[in-house]
Amino acid sequence: MRFADREVDLAGVAVALVVVSSHPALWEVQAQIVDYCTRTETEPAPSWRTVAALNPPRDSWRTQEGIPRFLARAHLAAPSQVVVAAARVMSGTFRPPTLDGLGYVVAGMAAREAGPDLEECLDACKENAECLLRCLAQGLARG
């Protein structure tokens, strides 16, 4: 599978999807990054790294360009320390092509209207990464 002209490991994207959906803070950061990247037409992986490098006081983010300012203006449910920690987990665990692939899958899920959602696919596929991506792709194709 290719995202942004790069070969992506489907199993890696599936694992990243399971990890990011395992905790509300991880999912919130993923959703904010997808929103930011959709608006700016940028790749997700650099945004994960940028957020991971931030100092937690959120007020300092307002003076920076890009994703820090975007997050400073967002209505985040998680405290800034948790947002930074979540980004550190994801950017330290997954390679950039996997984070980009994850971003495209999540963006596609948000854009579609029909088919199984993430929870339905996770329930149906359990730990099977290929099944999970096929299930999500099925939903994307219907949407």
Q: Is residue 139 part of a domain?
A: no
Total domains present in the chain? 1
What range defines the domain where residue 61 resides? 2-115
Q: Is residue 107 part of a domain?
A: yes
Give the C-alpha separation, 34 to 74, whole Å: 13
Q: Is residue 86 part of a domain?
A: yes
Q: Is residue 55 part of a domain?
A: yes
The whole-number pLDDT of residue 141 equals: 44
Segments in the chain below pLDDT 50: 140-143
- Token reading at 54: 């931030």
Q: Is residue 106 part of a domain?
A: yes
Q: Is residue 91 part of a domain?
A: yes
